[in-house]
Structure 1
């Protein structure tokens, strides 16, 4: 198959692949991807090179690239079982469980006596069956939302409960301070108060527009944070560095509050409590991980079920469906989690009209606000994630000009310094989860500016210690078999 290649080229490619494997073991996935690519360029006919690179792409959440590499490996060798596993993992990460099941079925046919393959196939089949059942329930005429089924009055508070308590059903500053201290000690908020916060947040977000317009007074400081991803102790560090949210110290958290990190419950209740306390000075945008599929895959659903109830996990889904998709600051800066669009001439009015009250679709404005990424080259390219689009500097420039904006802020991507300025300083990425997943070694960052001077200032910070609970500790067992 690799005839025409010199022995020297083959040997060099194999040596580079071996080096790439070592970087993969060290969890330096970007370097591993770079080296697998070198090996492929030298010898493009070895299925394992693509299969290994696919696995590395999975680890950095480039699901689209992982899918393409696994498919290429299968094209080269239809009996290469690992490639089917990799492709199934990519499909699962994108919520395409039926296609994942099809790949696992192919593995079982090739290896009918492989107990591990059968187990993975059966687990995936359970998910497909469960999702089909839930979809059937959802379309029933009389199906009630979870929030309609919750009876707060029937929830009693045990006499020995000494944790934070709402004051006449309301969030107060004392409550939030006590809540954060409680969470630092790895103690829980009582489920009655947890449900009340969620119910109140749902009522609030129901009234909010898809694009929230924020006015920052000239002398006011404003802070934008990126992904938190369940890293509660790093969230506390942000508040230590930059001050607690208040009417004089407003914040915007730009999506992906949960998943991956195993303190997502603590993060989301802290953030939602501040939202209820300072509704006009604390803002939250939806990220691609505020969705049912991501929460099922990456740990939040399992964490909520473990710390509270399956019913609460469903309620979170309802609340996440109501989160705004972006924020417009002083009519000059647009902040969204992912990025820009596959079509030119998208306007702010088009964004305002988006029906956000649902699970993210696989295409269109809502999808791209949550999933897209910038690229250095002009034009557009298929997304490395398999969802959304990659957009170049010319796309950014045209969008800003058409909408009379100065620049955009987005999150969604790990950056070594916690932030990145691109597209001629018109596209800024901010990521606030340092040492992401306890493995990436990146810094976190947040952005501050004043209303009269929207020039961003960046503060970077390193990860702080947290209790010995590993990231993805609550992830679905089936997910951990692939990712």
Structure 2
């Protein structure tokens, strides 16, 4: 917002005077100590150490639990660590103690926007705009959010059940190829090894694939995914190696580095990419066409699973839709949504390892057969099997908890153990979370996280990693790697302007 205090990334520098401390339960000494914890938290926030900021804001709250600013500041820190569920809870708590605490409306709107709950976000932006009618930033945020709400309402209004899909409206045969086009060409309409090799070089040099071939790849890969079940079984024979990669998030040059380190995908070097191919990084188009081309080239040796970012709402907010519109067309962005709806939800390796993007389930009765029966040709729901597969995270304590993300669930080691026992599995591999070394082994070795986007968003400083397995024993081997240089294109280049909130 135009008001400097409302923009301050370091959080509030003093508690709101309108928030009264409960003198009966909070001593002057505790109130003073709470302020000291808050000041420490602000310093960590300034230095972008958001986890430590959360720790000290929490200590401030423990000392003095009725100060709205503490919750508001912690909400902001949670937003920066993508814990949107926690951010939403804290914003609500801040408003409980001070309904006039305007920053809390901003935090709550931010969390709801990140979760795709645009109508709820719009109500809070409207509140901010009414309180601060001369604030240009507040007005801009309201206008942008209202635009999304109106656009989504219009799209819903004109949609009819028997309407044609985007795929059915394309006339690829009559798309002309300009004489000056020198990029890769499909051979008889098909992806070949020569095409893939040329495509990698073309994208490396920041050139585009012609729209005619781009559309053809999308149509062909959609038809291929439609033939696959929601849970795909993979067999890795004895003596053979299989590679599992986690999130790529549009970091094309790091994707190339994986292939440099571990070899190009082939029938003798199979891969599984475990969701979140796009968004955040600003080379998502290059990543997804590379991966889709490899899927078409090696349909039985190259696998792709849906992540939570292979969805309309995430693509609308986190950059992929904007990137596709910038590099191609709105129609192609809509076609991507159709294709993503058909991505398999998870894979089972040698009947012993279940691989999904997010994690396990709030409902402990879920079996592999339930996953196989899951209807996936739609946007992810807010609960249930599909939601949990795409959104859930492990936690160190036993049981299940509400998700820090606001969607999915958090599951403990006991949940993992019982799921594996019921389904006769050895362990699970999932992605979805940044890890310092690119991977983490949790739940007594039974829940492994792999994340393959090093220095995530050019800010996190993490390594990426991939996992290799041998067919005879399926013992995971971890390879960590650092980020490589990329052209001067900042992450989130094509994201919604509302991301100024975060």
Give TM-score scaled by structure 1 length.
Answer: 0.97
1:60-88 residue CA offsets vs partner (Å, 9 max, x unmatched): 11110010011111111111111101100
What does 1:70-469 align with in structure 2 at a 5 Å threshold? Answer: 70-138=91-159, 140-469=160-489
Aligned partners of 1:289, 1:46: CA distance in 2, in Å? 35
Aligned partners of 2:123, 2:443: CA distance in 1, in Å? 40
Whether the 8 Å contact between 1:256 and 1:286 is mirrored in structure 2 is yes
Deviation at 1:349, TM superposition (A): 0.6
Deviation at 1:126, TM superposition (A): 1.5
1:410-445 residue CA offsets vs partner (Å, 9 max, x unmatched): 000111111111111111010011111111111111
Whether the 8 Å contact between 1:372 and 1:383 is mirrored in structure 2 is yes
What does 1:39-54 align with in structure 2 at a 5 Å threshold? Answer: 39-54=60-75
Question: Given the alignment, which residue of 82, 86, 89 partners 1:61?
Answer: 82
Q: Secondary structure at the match of 1:481?
A: helix
The aligned length equals 481
Aligned partners of 1:405, 1:141: CA distance in 2, in Å? 40
Aligned to 2:16: none
Aligned partners of 2:92, 2:121: CA distance in 1, in Å? 12
Aligned partners of 1:143, 1:70: CA distance in 2, in Å? 41
1:346-401 residue CA offsets vs partner (Å, 9 max, x unmatched): 11111001100000000000000000111111111000011111011111111111
Aligned to 2:7: none
Aligned partners of 2:422, 2:26: CA distance in 1, in Å? 52
Whether the 8 Å contact between 1:137 and 1:143 is mirrored in structure 2 is no
Aligned partners of 2:70, 2:466: CA distance in 1, in Å? 38
Q: Secondary structure at the match of 1:182?
A: helix
Aligned partners of 2:388, 2:162: CA distance in 1, in Å? 33
What are structure 2's unaligned runs of at least 5 residues? Answer: 1-19
Deviation at 1:18, TM superposition (A): 2.5
What are structure 1's unaligned runs of at least 5 residues? Answer: none
Which moved further from structure 2: 26-35 or 370-379?
Answer: 26-35
Task: Supply the RMSD in Å over aligned alpha carbons.
Answer: 1.2
Aligned partners of 1:284, 1:110: CA distance in 2, in Å? 48
Aligned to 1:482: 501
Give TM-score scaled by structure 2 length.
Answer: 0.94
Deviation at 1:176, TM superposition (A): 0.8
Which moved further from structure 2: 42-51 or 164-173?
Answer: 42-51
Whether the 8 Å contact between 1:396 and 1:426 is mirrored in structure 2 is yes
Q: Secondary structure at the match of 1:252?
A: strand
Aligned partners of 2:34, 2:204: CA distance in 1, in Å? 49
